[in-house]
Structure 1
C-alpha cells in the first residue's frame, strides 16, 4: 500500500519589501493626518514602528521626499511638509480644468457610470455615519475619478491620478476642520449625479464648479 501523501502546506503570505512597508506606513499616516504637517519623524522611530532596520527607512524617505510629502534633514530626520495655500490653489485649478471637462463629456452618461456613482455615494453616506473621515475622503475622490475615467482619455486619466495624494490629504484636512461640511459635501455629490442622470452638461459642470471651489475656500481658511 502506497504511503499517504504528505498534507499540503499553505505558504505564508509574502510580505512586501521592507522599504515598501515603510513607504506605505508613512504615506498613509501623512494622508490621513496621523503624521501632521510640521511633525519631525526620525529614522529610529519609523524603523521601530514598522519593525525594520534603518536602511529601508532611508530608502522610503527618499522616495517620499521626491513626491513632496516630506523634507529630509541630515542627522535630524524627515519633516512632514504642511499643505500650502499655493498648493491648494494649484490643485483646485487643475481639478476644475479636468473635472468640468469630464463632467460635460460624460453626458449622456452610461447606466454603468450612473450605477457606479450611486454606489459610491451610498458608501460615502455609510462612512460618514460611521465617522470614518479618511474613508470618506477616499470614496469622495473615487467618485470624481470615475467621471474622469468615463471620458476614455487615458492621458487625462493619468494627469488626474497624479493629484490623488494631494486630494486625499486636503479632503481629510477639510473634514476634520469642518465636520459640519460633510453632509453638504455628500449633497453636492448627489447634485452632480442628478445632473448627469438628467443629461444636462451645463448643470453638471456648474455642480462640479460649486463643489470643487468650496474645497479651496474651506481649505485655505484652515490649512497653511
Structure 2
C-alpha cells in the first residue's frame, strides 16, 4: 500500500496530517487496522515527530483511536456510527441550507450550478467515477455551508462531512448516485427561489435518504 504524496502546501506536520487523513478517508488505511509511528514514518519518508502530531489531530477528528497497552488503530465503521453521524448531519445541514437560501447571492447560484454540472458529468458514460462524484458531492455541501456565513457551523460540518465521506467510500451506493443528483437539484431550486423552509425540508430528507442507503449498503472493509 502506498500513501498519498505529502508534497502539498503547509508545514511538514500539516502535510503529513493531510496525507494520513486522506488515506483513512479513501480506505487505503482500513477500518480497524493497526498503525504504528514506525510504519507510517517509513511509508511517508518523514520523521516520527510530524507523524506523532498528525496522529494527535486524527484522534481529535475521530479517525483513529488509541488503546492503552495495545496500540493505535484506524476507527472501525459500524452501523451505529453511521446512524449517529448522519442524525447530526441532518440537523446541521438543515440549518446550513436554510441560512444559505436566505443569504445566497447570484454568484453563489452560478457557483452551485457549476458544481452540479460537474457532478452530473462524472455520472455519464459506461464507467461512472464514484470517487470524483463524491469529491464534488463534498464540494456541494461545503459550499452551501460557506454561504451561511456561520464559521462555527462550517467548522462543525467540515468534520461531519469528512467522516461521512469515509462511510460513503465503505458503502456500495453506486446504484443510488442518480437519486443523489435529483435530490441535489431539488435543493438547488429551493435555494434559487430563496424558499428556506422548503430547502431545509428537502435537505433533511436528502440526508435521511443517504443515511438509510448507507446503512443498508455498508460493507465490511478488510
TM-score of the two chains, using structure 1 as the length reference: 0.78
Choose 1 or 2 for highest CA Rg. 1
Q: Shift of the alpha carbon at 1:116?
A: 1.3
Q: Deviation per CA, 1:125-166, whole angstroms, max 9, x where unpaired?
A: 233446443332232122122222222333322332332321
Q: Shift of the alpha carbon at 1:17?
A: 4.4
Q: Shift of the alpha carbon at 1:194?
A: 1.8
Change (3 A) 1:102 1:27: closer
2:136 aligned partner: 139
Aligned mates of 2:39, 2:96 — CA distance in 1? 43
The number of residues matched between the two structures is: 210
1:33 equivalenced with 2:27 (yes/no): yes
TM-score of the two chains, using structure 2 as the length reference: 0.79
Aligned mates of 1:199, 1:178 — CA distance in 2? 30
Instruction: List alignment gaps of at least 5 residues for structure 1.
Output: 1-12
1:188 aligned partner: 183
Please point out which of 84, 92, 98 is paired with 1:104.
98
Contact 1:43 1:77 in 2 (8 A): no
Q: Deviation per CA, 1:14-70, whole angstroms, max 9, x where unpaired?
A: 975443343222210111112121222233332221112334333322332232211
Change (3 A) 1:136 1:17: same
Aligned mates of 2:76, 2:148 — CA distance in 1? 33
Q: Deviation per CA, 1:183-223, whole angstroms, max 9, x where unpaired?
A: 21122111111222244334322321221001211222226
CA RMSD of aligned residues (A): 2.8
Change (3 A) 1:64 1:192: same
Change (3 A) 1:153 1:19: closer
